[in-house]
């Protein structure tokens, strides 16, 4: 069953949404609520999440999907990948700093956390005006783990710049991020600026961001960073200062009630993207991931309340809805047989973790510090342009 919410859109949009839903649904009687009572066990069409509008397939007794103002949203079971409900899931929109989830998935596997690196002035060049910063300073030495705290908690574009420089350069990192996205089955994402800063042509989708959030939770290091509420960050004088996660569902800042069971993931904001959020929570043995992109009403905190409503609905709908899609639907299937290798095994491709040989080589390079890792990456992926 598919539910369309035509009353929330203009008449023309509602007509298009209704037409699309009728084309997808089997012939059957329709109630006055807009619910098509098709057989609940029928698999959702593969194209459903590409159709405009809100999609949900409720069984009897399912709670009503909340009314949201976001341009695009999705809620899924992070364990099975089943998409429980979505609105314009594949609509291309600027992701803001939620794109840092893909950056982390791409770079975390190749930079050991204990590396210490002295930051150069060149590595901090090109940061966009108005960027969120954690306070990385040139000629100061940082551990890679410090920089990741700056990325996940403070959304520091300065920390992203340094990590990208260590992992091969700005444009090379953007290219590998897109390769990583394709390997995960996220085909809507185009990366121009790895930190999520607005750039022409840079887009992602609620579907892709949910894929990234789910993949990140499967990495223990990613999961630790994104769930961390506060940390200490090195200052210019050899001391440190406190930083707090800007994800208000996690910290309860600015009057937002913390969400019970929240385990991350990442929020973002730019003037072009508006507010964006990937949020994951665990209750009763189930983990849900929700994406909310650009709420159009309710102010700057609406993204948190709309994510809260989606997560509440998802936990309440357990066993009462049929999936409208899967976060695994577009993931490439590796060839069968003993010759099959994880994505990380090929040149320029990153999977969930580096290949065995690469792991040993990176570990050796780590003994030489950030410069050693940078040399290894250049050997591994070939010459990389500066960016």
Candidates 157, 126, 165, 162; CA nearest to 145 is 162
Q: Is 266 a catalytic residue?
A: no
- Out of 72, 145, 155, 193, pick the active-site residue: 155
Question: Nearest 5°: phi and psi at 325?
Answer: 170, -170
Between CA 115 and CA 112 the distance in angstroms is: 6
Pairing of strands 82-87, 274-283: unpaired
- Contacts for 256 with CB less than 8 Å, ≥ 6 apart: 248, 249, 301, 304, 305
Angle formed at CA 98 by CA 257 and CA 106, multiple of 5 degrees? 130
Helix axes 220-227, 100-107, angle to 10 degrees: 140
Candidates 267, 249, 251; CA nearest to 259 is 249
Q: Is 271 a catalytic residue?
A: no
Query: What DSSP string describes 96-141?
Result: GGGGHHHHHHHHGGGS-TT-EEEPPTGGGTTPPTT-------TT-E
Q: Is 97 a catalytic residue?
A: yes
- Out of 97, 167, 204, 326, pick the active-site residue: 97
Between CA 147 and CA 158 the distance in angstroms is: 9
Catalytic (active-site) positions: 97, 100, 155
């Amino acid at each position: 069953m598919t539910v369309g919410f035509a009353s929330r859109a203009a008449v023309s949009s509602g007509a298009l949404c209704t037409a699309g839903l009728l084309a997808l649904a089997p012939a059957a009687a329709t109630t006055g609520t807009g619910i098509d009572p098709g057989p609940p066990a029928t698999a959702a069409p593969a194209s459903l999440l590409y159709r405009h509008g809100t999609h949900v397939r409720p069984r009897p007794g399912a709670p009503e999907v909340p009314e949201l103002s976001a341009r695009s949203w999705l809620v899924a079971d992070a364990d099975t990948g089943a998409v429980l409900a979505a609105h314009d899931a594949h609509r291309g929109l600027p992701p803001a700093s939620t794109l840092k989830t893909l950056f982390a998935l791409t770079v975390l596997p190749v930079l050991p956390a204990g590396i210490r690196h002295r930051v150069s002035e060149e590595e901090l060049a090109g940061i966009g005006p108005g960027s969120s910063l954690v306070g990385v300073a040139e000629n100061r030495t940082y551990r890679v783990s410090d920089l990741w705290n700056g990325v996940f908690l403070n959304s520091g574009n300065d920390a992203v710049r340094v990590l990208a420089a260590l992992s091969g350069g700005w444009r090379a990192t953007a290219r590998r991020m897109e390769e990583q996205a394709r390997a995960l089955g996220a085909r809507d994402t185009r990366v121009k600026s790895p930190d999520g800063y607005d750039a022409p042509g840079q887009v992602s989708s609620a579907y892709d961001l949910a894929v990234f959030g789910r993949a990140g939770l499967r990495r223990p290091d990613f999961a630790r960073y994104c769930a961390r509420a506060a940390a200490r960050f090195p200052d210019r004088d050899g001391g440190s200062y406190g930083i707090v996660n800007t994800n208000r569902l996690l910290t309860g800042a600015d009057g937002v009630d913390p969400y019970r069971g929240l385990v991350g993931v990442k929020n973002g904001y730019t003037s072009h993207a508006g507010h964006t959020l990937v949020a994951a929570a665990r209750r009763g043995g189930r983990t849900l991931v929700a994406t909310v992109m650009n709420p159009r009403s309710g102010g700057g905190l609406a993204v948190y309340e709309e994510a809260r409503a989606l997560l509440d609905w998802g936990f309440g709908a357990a066993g009462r809805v049929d999936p409208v899609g899967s976060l695994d639907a577009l993931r490439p299937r590796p060839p069968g047989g003993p010759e099959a290798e994880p994505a990380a095994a090929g040149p320029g491709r990153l999977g969930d973790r580096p290949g065995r040989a690469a792991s040993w080589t990176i570990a050796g390079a780590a003994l030489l510090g950030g410069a050693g890792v940078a040399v290894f990456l250049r050997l591994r992926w070939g010459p990389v342009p500066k960016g």
